[in-house]
């Protein structure tokens, strides 16, 4: 998993509430176990019509938002089924941060496991960021995980909270496997000691 570093990116406004995981990645795309290739299908039923043509007025199809890396969303983002394909699809599209007033628990946890940062903020601060995101391509926000700050295109700073352990994992690019490998020396020592103590095993 890549380290989460301070970055500046385009923010897109998505004020819908209760955006569920089926809206993020519809069920017909869940056959794969690969994390790549799903970005083209993110928000598929909103992005494309039945003939597969782009819906011009969907936010991520607009020219100014095609390189979006930050979503400013409505309440209860990522609700619905527990499919991990939802954060896979967002990450493959290029999303690194999702801001909302609340998230479904499983989606929230899956974001961290896939190198994305979900940020929970009060409604008034989400409204501030939403208004900034509506400026289009000029809505370039800077997200500093170390300082736990979002800086708007106008230079306003919004502080956010994040669990210390999850912050450590993102800053160091550690998923569950990476965390285990941090203890590789201790694991090897245990295995050696166990083999000596119980050579018949």
Walk me through the domains of the chain, giving residue ranges and CATH numbers: 7-174 (3.20.19.10)
Q: How many residues does the chain have?
A: 201
| CA-closest candidate to residue 170, choices 99, 94, 118 | 118
Q: Could you write out the DSSP letters of every residue in 127-143?
A: HHHHHHHTTGGG-EEEE
C-alpha distance from residue 28 to each of 40, 85, 114 (Å): 13, 11, 21
pTM of the model as a whole: 0.88
Q: Is residue 41 a contact partner of residue 95, using CB atoms and an 8 Å limit?
A: no
For 20-73, what is each residue's pLDDT tens digit?
A: 999 999 999 988 888 788 999 999 999 999 999 999 999 999 999 999 999 999
pLDDT digits (tens, 9 = 90+) for 81-137: 888 999 999 999 999 999 999 999 999 999 999 999 999 999 999 999 999 999 988
Nearest to 86 by CA among 121, 122, 118: 118
């Amino acid at each position: 998993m890549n380290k989460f570093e301070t970055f500046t990116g385009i923010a897109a406004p998505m004020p819908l509430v209760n955006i569920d995981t089926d809206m993020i990645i519809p069920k017909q795309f869940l056959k794969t176990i690969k994390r790549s290739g799903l970005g083209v299908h993110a928000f598929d039923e909103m992005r494309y019509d039945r003939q597969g043509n782009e819906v011009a007025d969907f936010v991520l199809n607009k020219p100014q938002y095609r390189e979006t890396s930050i979503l400013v969303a409505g309440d209860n983002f990522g609700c619905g089924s527990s499919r991990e394909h939802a954060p896979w699809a967002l990450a493959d599209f290029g999303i690194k941060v999702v801001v909302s007033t609340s998230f479904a628990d499983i989606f929230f946890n899956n974001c961290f496991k896939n190198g994305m940062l979900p940020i929970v903020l009060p409604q008034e601060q989400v409204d501030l960021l939403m208004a900034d995101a509506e400026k289009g391509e000029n809505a370039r926000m800077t997200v500093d995980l170390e300082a736990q700050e979002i800086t708007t295109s106008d230079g306003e700073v919004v502080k956010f909270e994040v669990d210390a352990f999850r912050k450590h994992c993102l800053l160091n690019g550690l998923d569950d496997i990476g965390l285990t490998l941090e203890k590789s020396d201790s694991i090897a020592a245990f295995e050696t000691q166990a083999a000596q103590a119980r050579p018949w095993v």
